[in-house]
Every structure is written in C-alpha cells, then in structure tokens.
Amino acid sequence: MQNSECNSISTLLNDKDDTTATVDNLYKILDLKHFIQDSIQQMKDDIRNELKAELDKMRKELHTRDVNYTRLQSDLDRYKEEEKKLSKDNLALRMSLKEKNNQLEDVKGHQLFLQKLLEDRKCNKDKVMLLRNARHRLK
C-alpha cells in the first residue's frame, strides 16, 4: 500500500487538471508523511528501548562483577592478614622450638655429666671395695 501510494504521488501531482483530485492527493501525501514520521519515531523508540534494556543488563552485570570483585578483594585482604598472623605465630613457634632444642642440648649435656659422675662413683666404689678387701687381708 505504501509503495503504491509513493509511486502514484508523482503521477497525482502531475495531474493538474483536477484541483479536487490534487487536494485529495495532497492530503494522502500528508497522511503518508505522518505515517512515515510515526513509523520512524516508533523505530527510534524501539531501538532506544532495546539499547536501554541492553544498557540496564550491562549495568546489572557490571554491578554483580563489582560486588564479586569487592568480596574477593575483601577475602584476599583477610587472607593476607591471616597469613601475616600465621607467619608471626610460625616465627614464635620456631623461636620456642629453638629454645627448647637448646634446653634439650643442655639437658643432654647434664645427663652425660651425671653419667660420667655415676661411672666415676661406681669406679670409686670398686676401688673402695678393693681397698677394704686389701686392708682386711693385711690385718
């Protein structure tokens, strides 16, 4: 219908014999012009609405990603703090372990010293026994 109206417009305008027909044709052209303008405006509105919907969708995705990023960044910061604390605790435990190892070495040293004293005492006991036995025989 629109194409036939467009094609007949030039024919209708060229027909100048009938003034009434020309006025009617002008109204048809004006109606067609309004129809085209309305169609263009509708297409613009449809495109604008589609773009707004797409933009809203992208904004929601961006917000979701931003929230996820913020949450992940917060988790990362918390893990770093925990790592620092664990590192300090680990250092304290190492120092304590080193101190305990030093104490253990001291205890082993004392134990060796005490074993040596015990062996010397046994040796002295044996000597005392030998001397007593020898004294008994001499009497």
The pLDDT tens digits of the residues spanning 20-55 come to 677 888 889 999 999 999 999 999 999 999 999 999
- In the chain, the number of structural domains is 1
Q: Is the pTM value of this prediction over 0.85?
A: no
Model confidence band, residue 1 (pLDDT cutoffs 50, 70, 90): very low
Q: Which domain holds residue 25?
A: 2-138
Q: What is the crossing angle of helices 19-138 and 2-14, to 10°?
A: 150
Side chain identity, residue 17: D
Residue 118, Cβ density class (10 Å: 0-12 exposed, 13-18 middle, ≥19 buried): exposed
DSSP 8-state code for residue 18 = -
